[in-house]
Amino acid sequence: MYYLIKDTLTEAGRDEIKTGEYQFAAVLTSAEWEAQKDSFDMGIDIEPDPSDIHSIKAEVNYDSLTGSFFIPDRNNLSGESEKFTFALDEKGIVFIDDSGAAEKIIAQVRRSKKWRLPSLERFLYDFLEQIVRNDRELLEQYDRELDEIELGIISENAGADTNRVNEIRSEIRDLRVHYEQLLDFSQELEENENSFFKHENLRYFRLFSNRIERLRDTTVAIGDHAAQIRDIYKSQLDIKQNRIMTVLTIVTTVFMPLTLIAGWYGMNFKFMPELDSQWGYPVVIIASVVIVAGSLLFFKKKKWL
């Protein structure tokens, strides 16, 4: 597919983009790029290999800018990412993509954008914006989910999914790495080493960098929030264990005198005056009850119960 950057992205033929009247965007498969790369006159030889794409990056060449896109699936950040490469110069940009991801983003730009001052820089800005268009809502959803888990832990709700905290931390870490790569990418464009972009249009890349910095800062805050929840959960476990140990200690302390009495009168001595007394058994019972009641009152007064 070939597009001219007019007031909107306008579909064009292969020959129309070579007139130089308008800057262009093109989406080619690897086979199409191999067949047509010489006609774009970018002086580069890209051999796209999706298995070798692991990040978003841009590299400055003598008369072109090349790089790759690595876009995580927002619905499954640990799943397969969308990968494609690109090459651009002052005339336009070519996306080399066998997955259809670049075409999908361009379709979103075509549906939602109309420009008063069309330019390659503005197209790139809108293309990058589409990648992160729903990320603010995604991060807010993570934050709300962590709030619910935190409330469940504090209220000792057995249904609180504490394992989800670790999953969120992992996903947020992946997003933070993604944003850092996008930030480096945008700054590389803003550097404009080959002077492909108009100076007055570099502000688009600064705007995008500022947005990505805010998103990255939000992921840092959410990561800290998740770490705090883990600490709260650990503290709650410690409190529960302390309560259990307190109960066990009180039970042991209450029954220790009774154990002594049982051991004492369980000894096989012939001459024990209490054994011959008709009040011996009731006295031992009363003494045991008094010891238990007195111990419990003592612990309650000390607020150990």
Picking from 128-132, 165-169, 299-303, which range would have the lowest pLDDT averaged per residue? 299-303
Q: Does domain 1-131 have CATH number 3.20.20.70?
A: no
Type and span of the H or E element at 49: none
Q: How confident is the model at residue 123 (pLDDT cuts 50, 70, 90)?
A: very high
pLDDT category of residue 43 using cuts at 50, 70 and 90? low
- At the second CATH level, the architecture of 242-301 is Up-down Bundle (1.20)
Phi, psi of 4 (to 5 degrees): -95, 140
Instruction: Give the C-alpha separation, 88 to 27, whole Å.
Output: 12
pLDDT digits (tens, 9 = 90+) for 277-290: 777 778 778 888 88
User: What is the pTM (predicted TM-score) of this model?
Assistant: 0.76
Rounded CA-CA distance 272/260 in Å is 16
Q: Apex CA 264: angle with CA 260 and CA 266, to 5°?
A: 115
Beta-bridged to residue 85, according to DSSP, are 68, 96
Least confident of 63-67, 239-243, 301-305: 301-305
Rounded CA separation 233/149 (Å):
10
Give the domain ranges of the chain: 1-131, 242-301
